[in-house]
Structure 1
Amino acid sequence: MDFKNYFEELKRRKVFKTAIAYIAAAWIIAQITADLLPIFEIPPFIQKVILIILIVGFPAILIFAWIYDVTPEGIRKTERVQNPLTERRKKTRRLNAAIISLLSIAVLIMIYDQFTISERGNSEILTLVAKEDSIERSVAVLPFKNWSGDSSLEYVSDGIADEITTNLEDIEELDKVIAFRQTLKYKYSDLDLKQISDSLDVRFILDGSIQLSGDKIRVKVQLLDCQTNEYYWKEVFTTNWDTEEIFTLQNEVTRRVVEKMDKEVGVDTVLFEKQLPTESTEAYEYYLKGLYQERKGSQQGIARSIEFFSKAIELDSTFIQAYKSLSNSYMYGGVFNGVNEQRYSWRSSKKYVEKVLEMSKDEGDLRWAKQRMRTNSYFFEWDFDLMEKEYLEGFDDNSYLMKTLYEFNTGRFEEALQTAELRADRYPACGVCQAYLANALFFLGRLNESTRVLDQNFDLFNDNYTFLREAAITYYYLGDYSKSQEALKRIRFIYNDNSPTILFLMAVNYNVSGDTNAEKEILDSLLEQYRNQNSGSPAWNLAKYYAHTGEYENSITWLQRSFERYDVEMIWLRTEPLFAPIRKDPRYLEIYKNVGFPVPPEVFPEDVSRTIQ
């Protein structure tokens, strides 16, 4: 074959120019598709289909260009023309014009991306810096959308947004960063970003999307200035799916966000002191999966998180974040969820705290370890002395939920209301904050207000496990059994939870409705959990059940067994409304004394106890 003649023939048939034109057109289509599909919420697989068509179309168009020619008279089969250079030039002018047009459009798109995103961001920075005194550096990171076409990758989109939130929380110069758990409820919300920012009371909203394909990940982020309701910054990051690249990407997004909010923050000295959490990409994937499950808060979610965090540690025994998360999950599983035997949960959680202390000298890790040991000691050892000491000295801001809980347990209801109101106002998207506010109002006898708080938040948090559990309990105490049953149905439907607290609530609701067969079945399950030494305080919940039915001798018997088992829920002994009728019983007072409360026992207000008789 004469390659020179073959090359000339390719040129004559305009195969090269057709290839250039096709590539330019395909790039424009792909770029427009990537930008427009998410806006119209078209499923991500459509983009994949379009890309496959474009790829398959490339060789097809080359074959077409070789065989056929586009002429003023229409499409004709290309003939072996001997000459004319002038004729050849004439035929290619239209194709040249098409190529130039397409390339011009491509260049304009690239310029637009850079100018209107980067330059507009810079110009807005100047405007905001001029008003620097009025800048409120507050931000919420919404769960990123998963545009990978695979629902099992939700843990990636949530995990990256969560890690960026954690980075922002570490920057002390920011005025306010909404915890990621509090933004999760907006994942499938119909509210627009301005409405979400008003609800969260923040100036900036960061949202985005991820696309993971093979070993590549594309992360698109955008920062909304909610005062002007305009996007302040947009950017697309494409990188390899490995731990170092993802960690760098998360740091870069954090740095850029803070720069845009206020370039005087001095983030560099804070952010880049962080170390790569693990060099194992597989370990990091298991860690993100563990976080995804742990956020659910349910019995199954906690059990799965323990499994995933343990696998992350097996793959990287130096992965400090995984040790911290595993310790947290063991604590949650031993306190509320009935995942593992209670003492085993305590030993496991403590073991991983000690591992973190052994491996890390970071101030944040040491602070976390102190808080975790304090919380574990209180839940599992009833260490009221330590809690009372820290309470009188003042809890740090990261312990507001523990502060409220301790105020409930020790009967400081006015103080609990102040703490709950402060946090509920500051974090309106926090389900447990709203539930604790309702609890505080209930304990103070402000029953109508307690009901109103629950009712106003029920639709908003109707998929939040912690809120639903607390709502089911408080509605029951308020005597609103239908609402308590509604919350229970949501928990059972979404989470299929069988923890002791949920079984107790099901049993008393069946008792109220007169379904004796279902009531007996649930009681048998609680008894079985007690015999199997499940965590989640089954003996305590049986004591509450018999107090509900007025069988106070049985209630005292099960309280004694709960004490012997060191049930976590015994910290509620002073203020549990169901035990109001037995608070003067010498056996109750003896248990109370042995638990070690720092305050004397108190008879519960009659007006509240009557609501549950």
Structure 2
Amino acid sequence: MPHYPNKFARFWQELKRRKVFGVVGTYTATAYIIIEVVNNLVQSLNLPPWIGPIVVLLLVIGLPLAVIISWIFDFTPQGIKKTESLEEAEKRVIVPKPIKKRLRLSYVLNAALIIAVLILAWPRIFKSDSLKRLASSGEKVAIAVIPFQNMTNDTIWNYSEEAIQMNLISVLSYSGELRVRQKETIDQLISTNGFAEYSSISPRIAGSLSRKLDADIYISGNIQKAGTMMRVDAKLVGTKTMEVLRSFHVEQPVSDNNIIPISDSLGKKILDFLQISKLIKENPDIWRNFRSSTNSPDALRSMIYAARAMVKYNLPSAIKYFEKAIAADSNFIAPMGELAFAYRNSRMVNKALSIEGKLYGKRDQMSPVDQLRADLLHAMFFESIDVQIDLLKQLQENDDQGNYHRILAGNYIVMNQFDKAILEYEKSLEIWRRWGKAFLKGNPAYASLGEAYHRTGQYKKARRIYREAERVNDDHTSIYFSWIIRDQAALALTEGDADRADKYIEKLISVQKENSVSEAGIDAELHKMYRQAGDLDKAEEYLRKALTLEPENPQRLNSVAAFLIVYDRKVEEGLGLIDKALELSPGNGDYLDTKGMGLYKLGKYDEALELLEKARDLKKPLYSHEISSHIEEVKKAIAEQK
């Protein structure tokens, strides 16, 4: 005799024996089918809207009744019988009968229920994106415009139902990416289905018409009037899912002459939305990284071109497209911030300050997250790194993105906190991996993290991150990927693998030449590679080669001077070179900073402090962490002398 250790186990066994679980499952599936059928009938037959909720309420009340009945009674081949207790069942002697395999009616009914539920639930669970075809090259989206409904209570405006439909079809037909169902086809289908009044076309019926027209999307709407104003509302709806993709509205003064302008305005809004949707799906990395909105496809398209140019570090092209994006939509926040950095990196400081000021002036009109972004941009121009770090952490709490971790990691690198930097770079890549391959292509975090691993002696991790960069980037001939190759060469040199290093160096030079980098620029890259590998002699050799090719370039002079001074190689020669750079570019704060550090290395602390403070003042209103930290270092040395 079975033994049940506790009341719960006995109760559970009874539920199974009395087939309560099966009844609940069957009841739930049947209820779901009834609800779906009722919802369809309510909309199709224009029944009162309260019918649906009443049916749901009755079905909910019926569930406990079904459970109670299944507990008390059992359905048998001999009819409905009261279920015997467990004790009675255990006492009864059961004579086993030969098992005959046959198809039971209950199996058929259960299978039918499962199939019905799957058919009804599938579109809701697996909603296909009605706009995803926009991102497929050469594939057009079919769209149907259903006649609008006159809701003004004035029959004089009945003509506008078809007038707006006809004009919208005309406007949308100009797009080469849409297949617009023509009015005659739609009218014929409506007439065939017996709809004399457009007001009787419910959303469910509109969806049915759209499916018969084999349209991916349909547009429906209504005309309303309030006083002297007319308002036209329109909805863009996915045919398969019946999901409203976007709503639009246009208001104009009441006038017969305004129907065409209203239609044109609606058509432009719809086309802009569809074009923006296509651009977003084709460029998810750019959209998700910036996220600020625009209703202008021209602005978004220019933003995408600019972002691609920034990946290649083509600043002139990036600036051109950022400016175009802002010209197309002056309230598009994302390109304003990026343009400020592009100007700054191009040494166009006044323009950078101007665009940053314009962006910061719009702060009160922004969302809380965009306000934090504006504060961060402002801090990156004018505040200390500590302030920047605090804002980045706030952004991570509100809108965690890979970019915030990457920028934070860069700040830790500047502060020589490499362990913290590595953690942030790793977090940034974790986020981008979740988002997809598009966010990993051309991602600067690979090179930065590899360099940090290299610098902290984690060579195996560095190799692993470079291999991942190779996998996710299809183009190994871009300027971006030349940084990966350069770092791979540096790692091979550090590990003493000369053959592997030579292969990478040869490839690096080839890629740089393919991207029209000058000979001096290539030598500068080789300098970075050898410096990273710790071979300062070779690093100096290539830095001098670059200077020999461009002897009048003040930036080259500053680079050699700073290298000689920072690494205590030839400080006095470095001072001579920086003096020449200052002759070519007097009043340059960066060059004065280099000279100030040269004097500091020679023990001329007071002269050094004077020059460094002058360099800081020349940089104002911009904040320079490097110059500020140099001033603190010299002040500390002066204090220790006293």
- TM-score past 0.5 threshold: no
Bigger radius of gyration among the two = 2
Normalised by the size of structure 1, how large is the TM-score?
0.43
Higher relative contact order (CA 8 A, sep 6+): 1
